[in-house]
Amino acid sequence: MTALLEGRTAVVFGVANKRSIAWAIAQQLHAAGARLALTYQNERLALEAKDLVESLPGTEGFQCDVSNDAEVTRLFERLQERYGKLDVLVHSIAFAPAAELSRPFVETSREGFRIAHDVSVYSLIALARAAAPLMTDGGSIVTLTYYGAEKVVPKYNVMGVAKAALEATVRYLAYDLGKQKIRVNAISAGPIKTLAARGIAGFSDMLKGHVERAPLQRNVEAEEVGKAALFLASDLSTAVTGEVLYVDCGYNIMGF
Ligand code: NAP
197 CB contacts (<8 Å, ≥6 apart)? 191, 203
For residue 50, pLDDT over 90 is answered with: no
Question: What is the distance between the alpha carbons of residues 159 and 142, in angstroms, rounded to a whole number?
Answer: 18
- Could you tell me the distance, in angstroms and rounded to a whole number, from the CA of residue 75 to the centre of ligand 1? 19
The amino acid present at 46, given as its one-letter code, is A
The answer to whether the predicted template modeling score (pTM) of the entire model surpasses 0.85 is yes
Residues above pLDDT 70, as percent of the chain: 100
Catalytic choice (40, 147, 156, 251): 156
**pLDDT tens track for 164-182:** 999 999 999 999 999 999 9
Rounded to the nearest 5 degrees, what angle is found at the Cα of 193, between the Cα atoms of 192 and 198? 125
Q: Report which protein residue has its CA nearest ligand 1's atom 28.
A: 92
**Residue-wise pLDDT tens digits, 113-157:** 999 999 999 999 999 999 999 999 999 999 999 999 999 999 999
Question: Please, are residues 229 and 25 in contact by the beta-carbon 8 Å criterion?
Answer: yes
Which whole number is the average pLDDT over 214-223? Answer: 98
Q: Where are the domains of the chain?
A: 9-249
Handedness of CA 64, 66, 107, 208 (dihedral sign): negative
Instruction: Pick from 48, 92, 122 the residue to mutate for probing ligand 1's pocket: most ligand atoms within 8 Å of its CB.
Output: 92
Spot the catalytic one: 40, 146, 147, 246. Answer: 146
Catalytic residue status for 122: no
User: Looking at the chain, which runs of residues are DSSP E strands?
Assistant: 9-13, 35-40, 60-63, 88-91, 139-145, 182-189, 244-247
Mutate to test the pocket of ligand 1, among 20, 66, 245 (most ligand atoms within 8 A of CB): 20
Q: Which residues line ligand 1 (CB under 6 A)?
A: 14-16, 20-22, 41, 45, 65-67, 92-95, 119, 144-146, 189, 191-192, 194-197
* Phi, psi (rounded to 5 degrees) for 108: -50, 130
pLDDT of residue 47: 82
Closest ligand 1 atom to Cα of 197? 41
pLDDT of residue 49: 85
Q: What is the atom index within ligand 1 of the atom nearest the CA of 41? A: 20
The CATH superfamily holding the domain 9-249 is: NAD(P)-binding Rossmann-like Domain (3.40.50.720)
Instruction: Tell the burial category of 87 from Cβ atoms under 10 Å away from its Cβ (0-12, 13-18, 19+).
Output: buried
Whether 172 is a known active-site residue: answer no
**Can you give the pLDDT at residue 1?**
58
